[in-house]
Chains A and B, each alone.
Chain A
Amino acid sequence: MIELKHISKIFPTADGEFQALTDVDLTIPTGDIFGIVGMSGAGKSTLVRCINLLERPTTGQVLIDGLLDESGKAVDLCTLSPAQLRKARRGISMIFQQFNLLMQRTCLDNICFPMEIAGVNKAKARERARELLDTVGLPDKADAYPSQLSGGQKQRIAIARALASNPKILLCDEATSALDPTTTRSILRLIQDINRRLGITVVVITHEMAVVEEICTHVAILEHGHMVETGSVAEVFSNPKTEAGRRLVYPEGVQIDQLPPAGVVRIAFNGGSSYEPLIASLAIDCGVKVNILGADTRNVNGQAFGTMLLGLPEDQNEAAKAMNYLKAQKDVTVEEVRDYHG
């Protein structure tokens, strides 16, 4: 379990102090995929760097269990000596938007690097690195240099490198933001697979709600350095309680105060075929007409992504019919929207 308690971070700048984080409390359960979302500049990257102390919080505690010994007792990373902290960091891996691979080393040597640091026997490290190359699906890239790989392949090597130290936690700092939507999906699948098979707790930092929707179980919303909302993804997405939450969850341009008082659903397209006209077939198959209140969808290589807000008919029967129809669709998630007036 990762527990952040009263985390504040103040950066001294030329024109005074900048408060990047204010009193953030966060609990991330073991084995979870936890999303932290927010607009750029909300403090997401600073917050994730507080977990492995790449940024030292100005005040607050970072409690993580099982890093230094197997007793399971949580330690406050902020109280560790530099040597202890380095040891603790081997249990917390991180992947980055820009991959940050060693450009002068082959992929295999990149994956060996964390083991080299930890003093693992070289032959053993190479063997393990080859296993990891298989895990991330790039067994033939052992002797390639990072410059010869595509962005998605680089991130796979970075993930293999992150797994080399057998971490308990994987931090993903905008890990898919430099990738195209199709590659993003395959990387997210890989991260999800790793989480399920190895039980590694994953913390995902992103500004894309689609990423959270796709793999996260819990989510926290950060705005101007404050944690404004947290809960399960289903909870937050169907019923965002704060202005910031609504801005992130609803399609762009929706006038929240002009929505009807009830019967609104939010549907998210998760890469199903964009050639199936969902709304039209709903009208034809069920005879129910729905009102599109707002939409932000994209067609990527024939796959539909994005979200839509629909107004259901006032008739309860018709509304239920429409809900059931929508819920039966593949690659579409449907949530009823409640309390959006705050």
Chain B
Amino acid sequence: MAEFLAFLGPDAAEEVQYLISNVPFAIWETLYSTVLATLFAYIIGLPLGVLLVVGEEGGVLPLPKALMTVLNVVVNLLRSVPFLILMVVVFPLSRVLLGTSIGTKATIVPLFIAAFPFVARLVEASIREMDRGIIEAAQSMGCSPFQIITKVILPECVPSLLTGFATAFVTILSYGAMSGAIGGGGLGAMALNRGYTRHQNIVLWGAVILLVILVQIFQTIGTRLAVGLDRRLSDKGGKKRGRKAAMKKIKQDRRIPDGM
């Protein structure tokens, strides 16, 4: 063992020691900033995504055209700002909201601002996939627009929304890794500040591998949940096909240029 560590580098033992003692806390920081940022992003992004569809002309709840234009422009504007720039630009806002503009907590603010327009677009895409005939049937039964949204659109889109949720969570997790640049914590910061800056390759790769594993775990859970809950897929073959379709959709979502 000692020989193997020596082969890896002069400080290998020290680096492994560092990894072992710091990884649990780094994982915790990564997860809690990702979870909170995703949560806030959905609180705004989910209703916004729904509005982007139902508010259209001929939609379930037509909104003034000017309002729809504003919503679309805001979403597009926020999505076009590179995340690294956004992190710096929202410093003042973080200071107002949290009293600080550095640290793990402070990274939640730019993550949230970058993520909610992305989430809104994901939700929008999910809802657009829905069969319009079902909405028409609901209207013919005398459903109010609010009932159509809460009792028809959202429940019918659950599998697709879950697939989108997995995509959003994983994307936010990987963006959170950049927060090391503004003094945030987590696996990304570990890889950047220790691994890259100090040429500690074991720390760098250890952190990266852990990030990859985390992403895989959450993506798999998300996809399985989406397929498992989809009542349109009943038999076994159907489930398998469903999982394939869900994976294909995720890959398409991930192809969106620069993620969020």
Chain A contact residues, CB within 8 Å of chain B? 52, 54, 85-90, 92-94, 96, 98, 100-105, 113-114, 116-118, 145-148, 165, 171
Q: What 6 pairs across the A-B complex have the smallest Cβ distances? A: A100-B137, A89-B142, A86-B142, A100-B133, A94-B140, A145-B231
* B214: interface (CB < 8 Å): no
Chain A interface, DSSP helix/strand/loop, else mixed:
mixed
Q: Which residues of A contact B72 (CB under 8 A)?
A: none
B223 to chain A, nearest CB (A): 17
A219 to chain B, nearest CB (A): 23
Task: Give the number of chain B interface residues (Cβ < 8 Å).
Answer: 24
- Judge whether B133 and A96 touch: CB under 8 Å: yes
State in angstroms the CA–CA spacing of A171 and B133 once bound together: 15
State in angstroms the CA–CA spacing of A103 and B234 once bound together: 11
Q: Which residues of B contact A96 (CB under 8 A)?
A: 133, 136-137
Partner of B140, one of A52, A98, A146: A52
Partner of A105, one of B139, B141, B147, B155: B155
State in angstroms the CA–CA spacing of A101 and B139 once bound together: 13
* B158: interface (CB < 8 Å): yes
Most buried by A among B141, B152, B230, B232: B141
Q: Which residues of A contact B140 (CB under 8 A)?
A: 52, 54, 89, 92-94, 171
A88 to chain B, nearest CB (A): 8
Q: Which residues of A contact B238 (CB under 8 A)?
A: 147
State in angstroms the CA–CA spacing of A171 and B136 once bound together: 13
B63 to chain A, nearest CB (A): 15
State in angstroms the CA–CA spacing of A102 and B134 once bound together: 7
A96-B137, A100-B137, A102-B134 as given contacts; A86 in contact with B144, CB under 8 Å: yes
State in angstroms the CA–CA spacing of A62 and B139 once bound together: 18
- The closest CB in chain A to the CB of B231 belongs to A145
Partner of A117, one of B143, B159, B230, B232: B143
* B90: interface (CB < 8 Å): no
- Judge whether A103 and B137 touch: CB under 8 Å: no
Q: Which residues of B contact A102 (CB under 8 A)?
A: 134, 152, 155-156
- Judge whether A89 and B141 touch: CB under 8 Å: yes
B140 to chain A, nearest CB (A): 4
* B151: interface (CB < 8 Å): yes
State in angstroms the CA–CA spacing of A101 and B159 once bound together: 17
Q: Which residues of A contact B142 (CB under 8 A)?
A: 85-90, 114, 117-118, 165
* B233: interface (CB < 8 Å): yes
